[in-house]
């Protein structure tokens, strides 16, 4: 199973194995990784599952939709070039070893 | 069962009952989820729905009922099979004329739905919420200040209604006069999703002045040049939607943007007054305001039910359902399904609530959810900062509506921090 590493704002890391097809958002909620709220439950509506993706891995992700792009303009923490909504990143073997940094706030 | 309920006469019941009778091995329940008796205490009947099967036939209305989280969530996310264009109430638009012109978002299916939805999603986006936050937070602080002078008040009229009324109509850019039509209009809309019972009949019989006022308020010239209403009309100016479509979308804002937040905030206040430990946690950390609201939406499910209509033969769990059948989703039952939620009947503001269906799910999920959360968050945070305790000092009075669950009155006393 592909691995994800979550790095919270304080620097603490959590590494988990995730079934392919599971989103980075859902995997965090299922394992109790703090820092992702996902208030809308993965419906691409709320921008509270914001993450910063390890820059060298950005190109591995599928391109963002216009919907996600617009929502990222409204995230609570700074939007950066490597900002993504974790509900839109579905794990697959090619993403094995993905590292995502959690922002200080989601609301 | 209930004192004001009545069978849904006028509907094409006969053939639906026959098709059900041929599958008489399947569970059927003689409950009326639109009766006063049910509204007083819906939980035993909701448990029956949930535990009797993955889908349960309700002979009283000739509809299928679904109460388990897994299946409610699946239905909400499968618009191809469970359509909204035949109405999200009991009335089947394929057989009956809707009581008002259908909503362009609630009562449509993709792809038609998506064009109108995109406009509302933009007008109610996180970016727009950021721009409203400061003024909403100040309004909340002013209201809490006034309530501290009163000490004793009705948490519904003076707080759950007063706050959204103090920020929402202005944010939309509504005229100052006639705003008293808003709550009665929403009450009609949400009663109309139910069966042809006393609640629905009376609501529609009294609706004319509210409908007329809302129609006028939706017009571009009656909206402030800056505001959520004007932004919807800007989409018509840009040619993205037509002018009449813009008016119908403003109507969605007025129908679904106020009474729902009133009931959501009312639910949170009712929970916090009944669960002192949750109140203490919130006082200790006002950052939990949003979580306290979200858990109240799960716990009380202010929007209790919606219908879909099947577009093909489909299996829900182990139950086969025919084409053209109305399916009643019990959002409240799903939000308390023990298969999904540990200790579902406990209000716990530290719970991970993501995934609850209180705002729905899928393409029709509440487009105003961010506005609801913003209003509730700033209000609950202001209360948590200024108030030591909130106690119920009289009998709460339940409001009765075919879709919405909430209170008419909640007498409380507050002590300053």
- Compute φ and ψ for B256, nearest 5 degrees: -110, 0
Mean pLDDT across B290-319: 98
Predicted structure pTM score: 0.94
Closest-CA distance, B398 to chain A, in angstroms, reads: 28
Among the listed residues B332, B345, B355, B354, the one whose alpha carbon sits nearest the alpha carbon of residue B403: B332
Does A24 have pLDDT greater than 70? yes
The owner of tokens 């059900």 is B20
Does B6 have pLDDT greater than 70? no
Banded model confidence at residue B5, pLDDT cuts 50, 70, 90 = very low
Closest CA in chain B for residue A48: B126
Closest Cβ–Cβ partner in B121, B122, B290 for A107: B290
pLDDT tens digits for range B341-355? 999 999 999 999 999
Q: What is the pLDDT of residue A88?
A: 97
Q: Is B149 part of a structural domain of the chain?
A: yes
Closest Cβ–Cβ partner in B121, B122, B354 for A41: B354
Three-state SS at A85? strand
Closest Cβ–Cβ partner in B128, B130, B365 for A40: B365
Closest CA in chain A for residue B126: A74
Outline where DSSP puts E strands in B333-402. 387-392, 397-399
Closest-CA distance, A71 to chain B, in angstroms, reads: 6
Mean pLDDT across B43-69: 98
Contacts of B370 in chain A (CB under 8 A): 45-46
Residues B68 and B50 sit within 8 Å (Cβ to Cβ) = yes
Does B2 have pLDDT greater than 70? no
Residues of chain A whose beta carbon is less than 8 angstroms from a beta carbon of chain B are 29, 32, 37-43, 45-47, 67, 70-71, 73-75, 107
Q: Which of A52-56, A65-69, B10-14, B225-229 has the lowest mean pLDDT?
A: B10-14
Q: Is B291 part of a structural domain of the chain?
A: yes
Contacts of B365 in chain A (CB under 8 A): 40-41, 43, 45
Q: What is the pLDDT of residue B133?
A: 97
Number of separate domains in chain B:
1
Closest Cβ–Cβ partner in A42, A43, A74 for B127: A74
Does B11 have pLDDT greater than 90? no
Closest-CA distance, A75 to chain B, in angstroms, reads: 7
Closest-CA distance, B152 to chain A, in angstroms, reads: 32
CATH number of the domain at B271, please: 1.10.630.10
Closest-CA distance, B153 to chain A, in angstroms, reads: 31
CA distance B362 to B356: 12
Bridging pattern class, strands B82-83 and B152-154: unpaired
Q: Is B2 part of a structural domain of the chain?
A: no
* B370 contacts A45? CB cut-off 8 A: yes
Q: Is B7 part of a structural domain of the chain?
A: no
Mean pLDDT across A89-99: 98
Domains of chain A with CATH codes: 3-101 (3.10.20.30)
Q: Which of A42-51, B10-19, B400-409 has the lowest mean pLDDT?
A: B10-19
Closest CA in chain A for residue B114: A67
* A40 contacts B359? CB cut-off 8 A: yes
Banded model confidence at residue B25, pLDDT cuts 50, 70, 90 = low
Closest Cβ–Cβ partner in B126, B354, B359 for A38: B354
Mean pLDDT across B395-406: 98
* A29 contacts B361? CB cut-off 8 A: no
* A46 contacts B365? CB cut-off 8 A: no
Q: What is the pLDDT of residue B15?
A: 39
Q: Is B8 part of a structural domain of the chain?
A: no
Q: What is the pLDDT of residue B18?
A: 37
The owner of tokens 């008002």 is B100
Mean pLDDT across B112-129: 97
B248: domain range? 13-416
User: Three-state SS string across B151-210, please?
Assistant: CEEECHHHHHHHHHHHHHHHHHCCCCCCHHHHHHHHHHHHHCCCCCCHHHHHHHHCCHHH
Q: Is B187 part of a structural domain of the chain?
A: yes
Closest Cβ–Cβ partner in A37, A38, A74 for B130: A74
The angle subtended at Cα B381 by Cα B378 and Cα B382, nearest 5°, is 85
Query: Considering just the CA atoms, what is the radius of gyration of chain A in Å?
Result: 12
Closest CA in chain A for residue B378: A107
Banded model confidence at residue B26, pLDDT cuts 50, 70, 90 = confident
Contacts of A43 in chain B (CB under 8 A): 361-362, 365
**Does the interface predicted TM-score (ipTM) exceed 0.90?**
yes
Mean pLDDT across B131-152: 98
Does A96 have pLDDT greater than 50? yes
Q: Is B4 part of a structural domain of the chain?
A: no
The angle subtended at Cα B66 by Cα B64 and Cα B67, nearest 5°, is 150
Does B23 have pLDDT greater than 90? no
* B365 contacts A45? CB cut-off 8 A: yes
Mean pLDDT across A8-23: 95
Q: Is B1 part of a structural domain of the chain?
A: no
Closest-CA distance, A26 to chain B, in angstroms, reads: 9
Q: Which two tokens stand for residue B25?
A: 């091995």
Q: Kindly report the average pLDDT of chain B as a whole number.
A: 94
Q: Which two tokens stand for residue B90?
A: 């009991």
């Amino acid at each position: 199973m592909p691995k994800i590493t979550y790095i919270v704002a304080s620097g603490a890391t959590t590494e988990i194995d995730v079934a392919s097809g599971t989103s980075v958002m859902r995997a965090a909620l299922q394992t109790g990784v703090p820092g992702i709220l996902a208030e809308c439950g993965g419906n691409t509506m709320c921008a509270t599952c914001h993450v910063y993706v390890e820059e060298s891995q950005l190109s591995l992700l599928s391109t963002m939709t216009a919907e996600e792009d617009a929502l990222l303009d409204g995230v609570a923490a700074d939007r950066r070039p490597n900002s993504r909504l974790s509900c839109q990143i579905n794990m697959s073997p090619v993403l094995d070893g993905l590292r995502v940094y959690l922002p200080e706030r989601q609301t | 069962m209930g004192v004001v309920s009545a069978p849904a006469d006028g509907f094409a019941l006969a053939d639906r009952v026959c098709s059900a009778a041929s599958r008489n091995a399947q569970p059927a329940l003689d409950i009326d989820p639109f009766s006063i008796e049910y509204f007083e205490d819906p939980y035993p009947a909701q448990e029956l729905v949930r535990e009797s099967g993955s889908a349960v036939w309700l002979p009283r209305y000739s509809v299928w009922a679904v109460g388990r989280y897994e299946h409610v969530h699946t239905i909400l996310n499968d618009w191809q099979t469970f359509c909204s264009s035949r109405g999200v109430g009991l009335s089947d638009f394929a057989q009956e004329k809707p009581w008002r012109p259908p909503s362009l978002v609630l009562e449509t299916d993709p792809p038609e739905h998506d064009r109108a939805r995109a406009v509302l999603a933009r007008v109610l986006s996180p970016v727009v919420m950021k721009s409203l936050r400061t003024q909403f937070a100040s309004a909340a602080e002013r209201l809490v200040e006034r309530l501290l002078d009163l000490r004793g008040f009705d948490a519904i009229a003076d707080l759950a209604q007063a706050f959204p009324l103090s920020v929402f109509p202005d944010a939309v850019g509504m005229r100052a006069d006639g705003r008293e039509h808003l709550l009665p209009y929403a009450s009609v809309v949400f009663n109309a999703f139910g069966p042809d019972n006393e609640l629905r009949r009376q609501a529609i019989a009294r609706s004319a002045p509210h409908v007329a006022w809302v129609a006028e308020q939706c017009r571009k010239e009656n909206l402030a040049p800056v505001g959520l209403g004007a932004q919807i009309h800007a989409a018509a100016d840009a040619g993205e939607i037509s002018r009449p479509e813009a008016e119908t979308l403003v109507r969605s804002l007025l129908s679904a943007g106020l009474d729902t937040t009133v009931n959501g905030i009312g639910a949170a206040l009712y929970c916090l007054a009944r669960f002192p430990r949750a109140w203490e946690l919130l006082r200790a950390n006002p950052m939990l305001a949003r979580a306290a609201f979200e858990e109240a939406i799960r716990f009380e499910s202010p929007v209790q039910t919606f219908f879909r209509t099947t577009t093909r033969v489909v299996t829900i769990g182990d139950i086969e359902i025919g084409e053209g059948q109305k399916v009643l989703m019990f959002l409240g039952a799903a939000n308390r399904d023990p298969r999904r939620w540990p200790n579902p009947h406990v209000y716990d503001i530290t719970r991970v609530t993501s995934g609850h269906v209180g705002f729905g799910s899928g393409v029709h999920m509440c487009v105003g959810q961010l506005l609801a959360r913003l209003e509730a968050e700033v209000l609950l945070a202001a209360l948590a900062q200024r108030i030591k305790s909130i106690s119920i000092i009289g009998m709460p009075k339940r409001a009765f509506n075919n879709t919405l669950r909430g209170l008419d009155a909640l007498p409380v006393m507050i002590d300053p921090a």
